[in-house]
């Protein structure tokens, strides 16, 4: 993830307006904007498979599954990301103003890239944990068969359930 010039730092609203005119996607953390790099075929295959499996499993439920191009705004952390896949069952994410930005996911899935595992497991997960509706966070490695599923327990603590 490489930074893009944002002097002075942008508000979330200014970021969304600015990004609408950009050819590439950018993530946002506290006024700073970061260009996203393209994903490899393996990464896209894993994310696509997870999306398809979740979409089929949740068909007929109030849940919707999103992939790569849907922005997730984390208001408490003043951040926005493009998770590889995420699920929202919250009615607030069905409103007219949620057409471009979702805010209340139940599950976030990240496929780990060569350049991002430390960020995805560290700072990004820290930001995701501030989302009240989030109950599960799945990290999938793409070059070996391994995944880590973190579930929020009844006490609000995140518990690792290695897959």
Phi-psi region of 31 (alpha: psi -120 to 50; beta: other; left: phi over 0): left
70-88 pLDDT, tens digit each: 999 999 999 999 999 999 9
pLDDT-based confidence at residue 163 (cuts at 50, 70, 90): low
Residue 25 placed within a domain: no
Residue 43 placed within a domain: yes
The CA-based dihedral angle spanning residues 82, 144, 64, 29, taken in that order and rounded to the nearest 10 degrees: -20
Counting the structural domains of the chain, the total is: 1
Residue 32 placed within a domain: no
Residue 63 placed within a domain: yes
- Residue tagged 């070996």 (tokens): 144
The confidence score (pLDDT) of residue 1 equals: 47
- Cβ(115)–Cβ(50) below 8 Å: no
Range of the domain at 127: 39-71+80-162
Q: What average pLDDT does this structure show over 59-73?
A: 96
Residue 61 placed within a domain: yes
Give yes or no for residue 35 having a pLDDT over 60. Answer: yes
Residue 23 placed within a domain: no
Distance, in Å, from the CA atom of 152 to the CA atom of 133, rounded to the nearest integer, reads: 10
Q: What mean pLDDT, rounded, does the chain reach?
A: 92
Domain harbouring 65, CATH code: 3.90.1570.10
Alpha-helix residue ranges (DSSP H) falling in 21-87 = 41-58
Residue 148 placed within a domain: yes
Residue 87 placed within a domain: yes
87-140 pLDDT, tens digit each: 999 999 999 889 999 999 999 999 998 888 889 999 999 999 999 999 999 999
The confidence score (pLDDT) of residue 131 equals: 97
pTM: 0.91
Cβ neighbours around 80 below 10 Å, total? 23
Give yes or no for residue 17 having a pLDDT over 80. Answer: yes
Give yes or no for residue 6 having a pLDDT over 50. Answer: yes
Question: In sequence order, what are the beta bridge partners of 79?
Answer: 29, 74
């Amino acid at each position: 993830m490489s930074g893009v010039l944002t002097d002075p730092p942008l508000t979330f609203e200014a970021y969304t307006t600015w990004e609408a005119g950009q050819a590439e996607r950018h993530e946002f953390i506290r006024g700073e904007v970061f260009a996203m790099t393209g994903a490899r075929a393996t990464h896209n295959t894993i994310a696509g498979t997870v999306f398809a499996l979740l979409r089929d499993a949740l068909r007929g439920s109030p849940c919707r599954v999103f992939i790569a191009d849907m922005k997730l705004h984390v208001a408490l952390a003043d951040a926005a990301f493009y998770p590889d896949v995420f699920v929202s069952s919250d009615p607030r994410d069905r409103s007219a103003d949620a057409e471009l930005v979702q805010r209340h996911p139940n599950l976030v899935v990240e496929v780990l890239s060569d350049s991002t595992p430390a960020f995805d497991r560290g700072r990004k997960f820290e930001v995701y944990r501030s989302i009240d509706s989030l109950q599960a966070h799945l990290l999938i490695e793409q070059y070996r068969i391994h995944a880590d599923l973190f579930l929020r327990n009844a006490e609000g603590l995140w518990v690792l359930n290695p897959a």
